[in-house]
């Protein structure tokens, strides 16, 4: 596909969404594994199955329902992506991040990314939250590879501050006010779908990583390229490989994330109300 075709597909998807609603919020939330219960805090204005949006991928993983919603959260309207896409599902980095481009065309300026992640600190417990301050993308196929989409951003985008510092400060302030256990640290991206080995976790811990997962980073790279302000929050669903005596399973991740989703919902609702201009 050439760059003109790629851009036209983005425009067609955006136009389809515009044709269904006059309400186009400037903030979007992407729900990770087990985060679907956050929807219970919202009043749904419009729900669009991904399969109906031109050129959108479809979800294949448990815990990722597959709807783009326009919803009222507290007193604010937001886009909510009820499920995301992953490299391990067979999608390319560009396909994973296609919705971010579409949201940018719809004038979304604030993006809240959520995920379930393995914790790499012995101070963490399953169900804790973590605000992402930076990431490692060594294992991430760059979604910016190929001809640059100049309509969104430069060929060589700066990555000094992908995650907005004011957003991080506000999230931590709200968590403290609500007595929610929260950490701040670096998130490392791994392609999956296999979980990391104890040796890999040991290396990541030595590199100063706080959490590891299989999402978020591709979307953050593209959102940054689009000029969006980004916040990312991880639900620590388990301690990573080699840090406990037992093994890991996706069902345990989903269950832990669901238990933490109430805290995540409280945090995000308060955050959306107080997003600085």
What digits encode the pLDDT tens for the residues 125-153?
A: 888 999 999 999 999 999 999 999 999 99
Minimal CA–CA distance to 56: which of 20, 14, 88?
Answer: 14
- Find the radius of gyration of the CA atoms of the chain: 18
pLDDT recorded at residue 109? 98
pLDDT recorded at residue 64? 59
Distance CA 243, CA 198 (A): 8
pLDDT recorded at residue 245? 59
Distance CA 217, CA 199 (A): 22
| 200 φψ region: left (φ > 0), alpha (ψ -120 to 50), beta (else) | alpha
Q: Are 167 and 277 in contact (CB under 8 A)?
A: no
Q: How many CB atoms lie within 10 A of CB 176?
A: 10
pTM above 0.75, yes or no: yes
Q: Is 128 helix (H, G, I), strand (E, B) or coil?
A: coil
Distance CA 205, CA 188 (A): 10
pLDDT recorded at residue 63? 57
pLDDT recorded at residue 34? 73
Residue spans of alpha helices (H) in the chain:
3-20, 93-96, 98-105, 165-177, 198-206, 217-225, 250-274
pLDDT recorded at residue 255? 74
Catalytic (active-site) positions: 33, 64, 86, 88-89, 116, 214-215, 238, 250
pLDDT recorded at residue 27? 98
Cβ within 8 Å of residue 9, ≥6 positions away: 1, 54, 55, 98
pLDDT recorded at residue 242? 60
Tell me the C-alpha to C-alpha distance, in Å, between residue 13 and each of 57, 113, 130: 11, 21, 32
Q: Are 26 and 108 in contact (CB under 8 A)?
A: yes
Report all structural domains of the chain as residue ranges with CATH numbers, in order of start. Answer: 3-274 (3.40.50.1580)
Q: Which residue ranges of the chain lie beneath pLDDT 70?
A: 62-64, 241-250, 253
- Residue corresponding to tokens 């989409």: 149
Q: How far apart are the first and last CA of the chain?
A: 37
Cβ within 8 Å of residue 3, ≥6 positions away: 146, 147, 148, 149
């Amino acid at each position: 596909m050439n760059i003109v075709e790629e851009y036209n597909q983005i425009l067609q998807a955006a136009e389809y969404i515009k044709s269904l609603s006059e309400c186009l919020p400037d903030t979007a939330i992407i729900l990770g594994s087990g985060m679907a219960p956050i929807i219970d805090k919202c009043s749904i204005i419009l729900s669009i199955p991904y399969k109906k949006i031109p050129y959108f991928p479809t979800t294949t993983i448990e815990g990722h329902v597959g709807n783009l919603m326009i919803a009222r959260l507290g007193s604010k309207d937001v886009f909510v992506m009820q499920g995301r896409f992953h490299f391990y599902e067979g999608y390319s980095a560009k396909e994973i991040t296609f919705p971010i481009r579409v949201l940018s065309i719809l004038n979304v300026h604030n993006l809240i990314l959520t995920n379930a992640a393995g914790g790499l600190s012995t101070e963490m417990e399953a169900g804790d939250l973590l605000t992402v301050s930076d990431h490692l993308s060594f294992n991430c196929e760059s979604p910016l590879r190929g001809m640059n989409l100049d309509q969104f951003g430069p060929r060589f985008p700066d990555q000094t501050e992908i995650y907005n510092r004011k957003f991080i400060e506000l999230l931590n302030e709200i968590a403290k006010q609500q007595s929610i256990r929260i950490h701040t640290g670096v998130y490392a991206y791994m392609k999956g779908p296999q979980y990391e080995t104890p040796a890999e976790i040991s290396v990541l811990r030595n590199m100063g990583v706080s959490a590891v997962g299989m999402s978020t980073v591709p979307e953050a790279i593209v959102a940054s390229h689009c000029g969006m302000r980004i916040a990312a929050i991880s639900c620590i669903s388990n301690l990573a490989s080699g840090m406990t005596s037992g093994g890991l399973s996706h069902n345990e991740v989903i269950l832990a994330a669901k238990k933490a989703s109430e805290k995540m919902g409280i945090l995000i609702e308060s955050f959306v109300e107080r997003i600085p201009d």
